[in-house]
A and B are shown apart, each in its own frame.
Chain A
Amino acid sequence: MSFDNAYESLLGGEDAHWAFGTGFSEALSGVDREFPAGVDRDALASYCLMLGDDALIFSQRLAEWCSRAPELEEDIALANIALDLLGQARMLLTRAGEVLGKTEDELAYLRDEREFRNVHLAEIDCGPGPGGDFAATIARLLVFSSWRLALFSRLRGSADPVLAAIAEKGLKELAYHRDHAAQWTVRLGDGTDESHRRMQAGLERVWPFVDELFATHPVEARLSGVAVDPASLRSEVDGVLEAVLSAAGLTRPADTKAARVAGMAGRDGVHTEVMGYLLAEMQHLHRSLPGAVW
């Protein structure tokens, strides 16, 4: 029995008599998986890795809060968000794997640091490690989900039907993630002196990594009509962040840019120091026991 079909096998295909928890659906069922004519398949695979790795790595970071959030309810909320992103990552890595001849697990667990294409914002430590706290995590979630929501809303028009379907499903999830982050940003920013100080510090923590989100990568430039040019999202995302920060009584940090290595950053496989530790934790089980399943 595969994990994906656990619910179906439980019900034996008939769920009409259940009062609760019915009507599950498979987001990509019926979507044409043929590659559109003329698309650069290698670039498409790289692009799917970019968006998939953003979700996978940020999901791993959010999962670190499991059992450590300020409240049990928030614990579950962050885990839910992490699982939404993990679902997006699985679909995107699967799409990349269709070009590369690899499974989603091989891509998630058997690539090395230099092969990951996520932005630095997804990988940095914003707590519960020493690099941040709950407010910094909320600041990252606010920026990340506002950006990805704007990106996915355009990606619905992608010439690749699979990317378009993934975007359509992810949009509702990301709208909730952004709402959750905005709710907390306002409460912390407009709360006590201490919560305001921490929320402002959280924004300062993540702001140097904002610029990378809007930098057009050559892969994106090669995929006109398939990929979204992130540079085109800047004004929309700025407007959303401005509205939230204003309601929260917070100040938009000055625009600074985290250092690049010879002009390269996460999209080129160049990562920050914490990335190796993150991957070690995420990958060690699969590498120690190849093919392990639950």
Chain B
Amino acid sequence: MSTTWPLWEVFVRGKRGLNHVHVGSLHAPDAEMALRNARDVYTRRNEGVSIWVVPATEITASSPDEKDPFFAPSGDKVYRHPTFYAIPEDVPHL
């Protein structure tokens, strides 16, 4: 039976204002049950205010073979980080 249930990827938003974050995967017969299973498996400790489930087969992933052409070119462009500003002491959560 478990081999026939499709795999779903689960994304949980922890608090209002934060992004949905990938937390893991699970098996479920359909999308509605996947949502409920995700609620039970991944939000038992009060982790979430919103859940997305996505069929694992619908995710297109970058290939490890393309790692260098994909990611290496940004490796020497430190000027793209906003680290050259002085951060005021009295601004929290920055």
- B93 → A minimal CB distance (Å): 10
Q: Are B14 and A20 in contact, CB atoms less than 8 angstroms apart?
A: yes
- Whether A20 lies near B47 (C-beta < 8 A) is yes
Q: How far is the CA of A42 from the CA of B46 in the complex (A)?
A: 37
Contact, CB under 8 Å: A19 / B18: yes
**Per-position binary interface string of chain B over residues 36-71, scored 1 when its CB falls under 8 Å from any chain A CB and 0 otherwise:** 110011001111100000000000000000000000
Q: In this assembly, does A187 line the interface, its C-beta being within 8 Å of a C-beta of chain B?
A: yes
Question: Is the Cβ of B14 less than 8 Å from the Cβ of A24?
Answer: no
Closest Cβ of chain B to A15, distance in Å, is 10
Residues 2 to 57 of chain B near chain A (Cβ within 8 Å): 2, 5, 12, 14-15, 18, 26-29, 32-33, 36-37, 40-41, 44-48
Are B45 and A183 interface neighbours, CB within 8 A?
Answer: no
Q: Which residues of B contact A74 (CB under 8 A)?
A: 37
For B2, B28, B40, B44, the residue with the greatest tally of chain A CB atoms inside 10 Å of its CB is B40
Q: Does B1 interact with chain A (Cβ within 8 Å)? A: yes
Q: How far is the CB of A102 from chain B (nearest CB, A)?
A: 31
How far in angstroms is the closest Cβ of chain B from A25? 9
Q: Which chain A positions have C-beta within 8 A of B46? A: 20-24
Question: Whole-angstrom distance between the alpha carbons of A21 and B44 in the complex?
Answer: 9
Q: How many residues of B contact A (CB 8 A)?
A: 22
Asked if residues B14 and A71 are in contact (CB atoms below 8 Å), the reply is no
Known: A21-B46, A24-B46. Is A73-B18 also a contact (CB below 8 A)?
no
Which B residues lie within 8 Å of A73 (CB)? 26-28, 37, 40-41
Which of chain A's residues have a CB closer than 8 A to the CB of B37?
A: 73-74, 76-77
CB of A130 within 8 Å of the partner chain:
no
Further pairs besides A76-B44, A183-B32: 14, Cβ < 8 Å? A20-B12, A20-B46, A20-B48, A21-B46, A24-B46, A72-B27, A73-B37, A73-B41, A76-B37, A77-B40, A80-B40, A80-B44, A183-B36, A187-B29
Which residues from chain B contact A70 at a C-beta distance below 8 Å? 1
**B46 closest partner in A (C-beta):** A21
Q: Does A286 contact B (CB under 8 A)?
A: no
Bound-state CA distance A71–B27 (Å) is: 8
Tell me which of B5, B14, B40, B44 contacts A19 (CB under 8 A): B14
- 10 A/B residue pairs, CB under 8 Å, sorted by A: A19-B18, A20-B14, A21-B45, A21-B47, A22-B46, A70-B1, A71-B5, A73-B27, A76-B37, A77-B36
- In the bound assembly, the distance between CA atoms of A268 and B37 in angstroms comes to 38
| Residues B40 and A71 in contact, CB atoms below 8 Å apart | no
The answer to whether B15 and A19 touch across the interface, beta carbons within 8 angstroms, is yes
Give the contacting residue for A187; candidates B15, B18, B33; CB below 8 A.
B33
